[in-house]
């Protein structure tokens, strides 16, 4: 039996994903048996290639193989296609015809989109799987066949069973050995490897120089969801090979030629357009995470002051705050009372019994009267301008890297072109 790397080279499979290797290993191990196999995965992940791998590594490899798309055959003719028919069995049946199960006896039949198969055909298929018997349409003669069935689906068959659109007994008969193929979005490390393969193949076919992607363009590819999986990625590589004049493509170039690649599945509301530049949004997300860290630091500082100065909490504070601060005021030495990373408190039983008297006035540093201290406080409105925060973040990055724009852009997670534009925009 060939090892996985040899199999990958032989069939042009690109990728180092653990899930992909696990699926490939299962296919190779089950190949030399006659067990039924159900390959599950989204459209475009390469299910037919796996069916060929199973056939080519089995004892049937010298016999015929055929791939049949069950969803592409009309419901009225699928029984005739699979099992054959007799002359006069239906209108237009001018002669007898052999079906695939008869013509490919001794070989392998790959039934793609098995979930689209009509219910009556499912009953006939179940009989073939259980006894190897079938009957031509319009005949009463039972015939025998010895074929191996490999099925594939891009839908949830158990959900179709609940809707009475797929037979449960057929599902368990087909699903003797399940193989799950991962979606392309679950293999982010393989996306650029596949892209390079398709770009090189295109360049060799048309005798051109293969296109390449810079780091920002690779990030765009990794962040895209790829609903069409490998098939969609191949189309993108071929489109860019034709449309783009420059052989080195940036993230901005990528989105310019194929705008839907900017679609990000992030928890943010948008107007459905692509007006916001991808790198600008990356700056905003980084800013929000930094603000969250600053807030946690502030919480730690406040609770440290309260504990070290033996302060109490006002009676109108939240219940979680009261629980944590009363435990501190009770003299607990447990340093894990408040954890900024978890933003939570342990049960009150873990820090000792709390004081019963809760109506204390808060004690202020220096034991000054409460009113005089609050009279000296001035409420300052927080600056919520995104442009100001973005400008400040860019200034900090430039200062950190002593004005070296390439390093600053890398630290900010944006391209140098975007950084140059921002510097000019803010007159930095």
pLDDT band at residue 266, thresholds of 50, 70 and 90? Answer: very low
pLDDT tens by residue, 129-155: 999 999 999 999 999 999 999 999 999
Question: Which neighbouring-strand residues pair with 67?
Answer: 110
**In which element (H, E) is residue 270 found?**
none
| pLDDT above 50: residue 29 | yes
Q: Which residues in the chain are classed under CATH 1.10.8.60?
A: 185-275
pLDDT tens by residue, 345-383: 444 444 444 444 444 445 444 444 444 444 455 555 556
Question: In CATH terms, is domain 386-426 a member of 1.10.10?
Answer: yes
Quote the pLDDT of residue 336: 44
Instruction: Assign domain 4-182 to its CATH architecture.
Output: 3-Layer(aba) Sandwich (3.40)
Pairing relationship of beta strands 133-135 and 142-144 according to DSSP bridges: antiparallel
Quote the pLDDT of residue 392: 82
Q: Are 417 and 246 in contact (CB under 8 A)?
A: no
202-206, 321-325, 341-345, 410-414: the lowest-pLDDT one: 341-345
Q: Which residues in the chain are classed under CATH 3.40.50.300?
A: 4-182
| pLDDT above 50: residue 107 | yes
| pLDDT above 50: residue 73 | yes
Q: Are 408 and 400 in contact (CB under 8 A)?
A: yes
- Torsion on CA atoms 342, 346, 351, 357, rounded to nearest 10: 100
Q: Which residues in the chain are classed under CATH 1.10.10?
A: 386-426
Quote the pLDDT of residue 15: 92
Q: Are 126 and 170 in contact (CB under 8 A)?
A: yes
| pLDDT above 80: residue 65 | yes
Pairing relationship of beta strands 148-153 and 177-180 according to DSSP bridges: unpaired
Mean pLDDT, rounded, for 229-241: 95
Q: What is the pLDDT of the chain when averaged over all its residues?
A: 81
The length of the chain, given as a count of residues: 428
Q: Highest mean pLDDT: which of 14-28, 279-293, 385-399?
A: 14-28
Quote the pLDDT of residue 132: 95
Mean pLDDT, rounded, for 218-229: 94
- CA dist 175 and 114 (Å) reads 12
Backbone angles phi, psi at 346, to 5 degrees: -75, 165
Quote the pLDDT of residue 291: 79
Quote the pLDDT of residue 414: 83
Q: Highest mean pLDDT: which of 292-301, 311-320, 408-417?
A: 408-417
Q: Are 359 and 317 in contact (CB under 8 A)?
A: no
Q: Which fold has domain 185-275?
A: Helicase, Ruva Protein; domain 3 (1.10.8)
Among 62, 43, 167, residue whose Cα is nearest residue 108: 62
pLDDT band at residue 331, thresholds of 50, 70 and 90? Answer: very low
| pLDDT above 70: residue 264 | no
| pLDDT above 70: residue 328 | no
């Amino acid at each position: 039996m060939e090892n996985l790397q040899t199999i990958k080279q032989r069939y042009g499979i690109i990728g180092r994903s653990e899930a992909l290797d696990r699926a490939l290993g299962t296919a190779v191990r089950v190949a030399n048996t006659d067990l039924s196999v159900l390959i599950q995965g989204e459209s475009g992940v390469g299910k037919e290639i796996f069916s060929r791998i199973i056939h080519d590594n089995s004892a049937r490899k010298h016999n015929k193989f055929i791939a049949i798309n069950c969803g592409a055959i009309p419901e009225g003719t699928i029984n005739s296609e699979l099992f054959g028919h007799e002359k006069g069995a239906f209108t237009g049946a001018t002669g007898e015809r052999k079906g695939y199960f008869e013509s490919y006896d001794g070989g392998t039949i790959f039934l793609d989109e098995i979930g689209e198969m009509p219910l009556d055909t499912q009953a006939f298929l179940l009989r073939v799987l259980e006894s190897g018997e079938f009957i031509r349409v319009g005949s009463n003669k039972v015939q025998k066949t010895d074929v191996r069935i490999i099925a594939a689906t891009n839908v949830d068959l158990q959900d179709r069973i609940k809707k009475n659109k797929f037979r449960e007994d057929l599902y368990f008969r087909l699903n003797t050995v399940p193989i799950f193929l991962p979606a392309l979005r679950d293999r982010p490390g393989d996306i650029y490897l596949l892209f390079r393969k398709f770009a090189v193949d295109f360049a060799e076919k048309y005798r051109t120089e293969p296109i390449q992607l810079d780091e920002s363009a690779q990030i765009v590819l990794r962040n895209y969801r790829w609903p069409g999986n490998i098939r969609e990625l191949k189309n993108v590589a071929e489109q860019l090979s034709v449309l783009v004049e420059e052989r080195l493509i940036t993230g901005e170039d990528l989105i310019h030629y194929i705008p839907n690649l900017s679609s990000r599945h992030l928890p943010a509301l948008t107007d459905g357009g692509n007006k916001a530049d991808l790198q600008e949004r990356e700056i905003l997300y980084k800013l929000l995470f930094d603000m969250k860290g600053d807030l946690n630091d502030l919480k730690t500082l406040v609770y440290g002051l309260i504990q070290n100065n033996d302060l109490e909490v006002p009676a109108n504070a939240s219940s979680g705050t009261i629980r944590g601060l009363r435990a501190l005021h009770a003299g607990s030495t447990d340093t894990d009372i408040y954890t900024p990373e978890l933003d939570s408190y342990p049960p009150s039983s873990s820090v000792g019994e709390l004081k019963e008297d809760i109506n204390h006035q808060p004690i202020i540093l220096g034991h000054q009267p409460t009113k005089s201290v609050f009279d000296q406080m001035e409420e300052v409105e927080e600056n919520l301008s995104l442009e100001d925060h973005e400008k400040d973040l860019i200034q900090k990055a430039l200062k950190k890297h002593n004005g070296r724009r390439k390093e600053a852009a890398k630290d900010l997670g944006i391209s140098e072109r975007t950084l140059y534009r921002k510097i000019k925009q803010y007159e930095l």
